[in-house]
Chains A and B, each alone.
Chain A
Amino acid sequence: MKKRIFILILIFISFCLQCTLFKALSLGKVGPNLLLMLTSIFGFMGGKKDGMFAGFFAGLFTDILYGNGLIGFYMLLFVWAGYVNGMFNTLFYPEDIKLPLILTTCSDFICGFLTYVFLFLLRSKLDFGFYIVHVILPETVYTLVVTLLLYKPVLLLAGLFDDDVPGERKAKDV
């Protein structure tokens, strides 16, 4: 429970920062995707349910304020991202930074691609090459850099609020 509250608060804070601070820090009008990074991290760190929990709220916040009347799209995207990342829970070791980097990068790329397909391709914006070079890839790279910087702090913080007995964690996510 303690951990869930921690996840919720962290998602809340990063949502607020992503809409304000990271918009000011954006390079070439592209900012990092903190929410997806956190969803992904909580996914492979805590399992599918933690990932879905983080994704649910990350998506919900985005949908309510910036969904333009369509609630559910980002929620669906983020919940799935959390679940899929949760499947890699068994491969996760806190000391290893390669897996987090690979997973957040892949998640960001795939989510960017899906956003393009559903929100742009369906409005007959066909120039995929342009969007991949100017939006999806820069965002992925930026998120990768942010993950590199924030992964350890998030890990440390999460350790403080972890209320699972280590042996029990794996059993829960079968």
Chain B
Amino acid sequence: MPRVHIKRQKFVMPGRYILLIITILCIALMLLTFFTDAVSGPLSYVANYTIVPVERGLNAIGERFSLRMEEWQSLKNVLSENEELKKEIQDLTLEKNQLIADRYELQELRDLYGLEDRFGEYDKIGARIIGKDPGNWFSVFLIDKGESDGIRKNMNVIAGDGLVGIVTEVGPDYSTVRALIDDASNVSSMVLSTSDTVMVTGDLKLMDSGEIRFSQLSNQDSTAAVGDEIVTSNISNRFLPELTVGYISSIETDPNNLTRSGTLTPAVDFEHLSTVVVIRELKVTSDLGEDQR
């Protein structure tokens, strides 16, 4: 049996050596990717043409299903809702007319002051969420737009009128977004009414209640209170100014008596998020290197 003989002679590397090699490789990769961007570039290309299309397809199927379900459920409520909405329209038409008048006045005053309209002028692009972090520790998700759509690292992501997160990785046709509620997320913000700066930090512990934490609110003579709006601050180096983060839901004085901290309810419903908008504008043009970890 010559074939068996050849097989016996063949050198087979023991499992533990392979393990050792892979361990060293992984540690080297970790160090390399932590300090540089050398490896993730080519790898993201591979992922772009293998995993991302499949996730996109799966997501499309899932969405079609959930849409059908929603259609069935909503049909029941539609009739009664219709009545209510008709009444509401009347009220709103009145209000709208008033607001239009105000708007003209605002525009005039703005022209007088030479102020530019800050909102709505950003170059935006819509994107669909196609996948979420496979683990249970972080709130990172994948969107179906990437470098070829002009998305760059550190661009801000919003939905509706609230901040969703920030782009942390960009592939050719996908990008990774770290949500506001992610445990490793930090956003330099301020209370809109008093302009006090605060630090908004995601916390896995508050994930169930859907809230996020804020801290470092000055206790000196700040009048910030529950219900106040928190927006991204002017001094943040990654987030564009005055994007709504959320509303203060609880507030308490820290043991050091100098600062206050508490929780806020995000303006965005992260549970039912399926599409987001990426603002194609960076706060700074230079690469900051390390992400917001």
B205→A127 contact, CB < 8 A: yes
Docked complex Cα distance between A34 and B12 (Å): 30
Q: Size range of the interface on B?
A: 35 or more
Contact of A79 among B19, B54, B133, B183 (CB under 8 A): B19
Majority SS of interface residues in chain B?
A: helix
**B168: Cβ under 8 A from any A Cβ:** yes
By a CB distance below 8 angstroms, the chain A residues around B54 are 12, 16
**Residue from the set A18, A23, A61, A116 with the largest chain B CB neighbour count within 10 Å:** A23
Majority SS of interface residues in chain A?
A: helix
Write the B4-30 contact mask toward A (1 if CB under 8 angstroms, else 0). 000000001011101100110111111
**A150: Cβ under 8 A from any B Cβ:** no
Complex interface: stretch among A93-101, A118-126, A154-162: A118-126
CB within 8 Å for A64 and B133 given contacts A71-B30, A174-B14 = no
A48→B19 contact, CB < 8 A: yes
By a CB distance below 8 angstroms, the chain A residues around B176 are 65-66, 68
Write the B49-79 contact mask toward A (1 if CB under 8 angstroms, else 0). 0111011001100100010000000000000
Docked complex Cα distance between A17 and B19 (Å): 28
B23→A79 contact, CB < 8 A: yes
**B92: Cβ under 8 A from any A Cβ:** no
B210 to A, closest residue via Cβ: A29
**Would you give the shortest CB distance from B26 to chain A, in whole angstroms?**
4
Contact of A69 among B33, B47, B131, B138 (CB under 8 A): B33
By a CB distance below 8 angstroms, the chain A residues around B184 are 68, 123
Q: Size range of the interface on A?
A: 35 or more
Contact of B59 among A20, A65, A72, A76 (CB under 8 A): A20
A69→B40 contact, CB < 8 A: yes
Contact of B132 among A19, A68, A173 (CB under 8 A): A19
Contact residues of A with B, CB < 8 Å? 12, 15-21, 23-24, 26, 28-31, 33-35, 47-49, 52, 56, 61-62, 64-73, 75-76, 79-80, 83, 86, 115-116, 119-120, 123, 125, 127, 130-131, 134-135, 138-139, 172-174
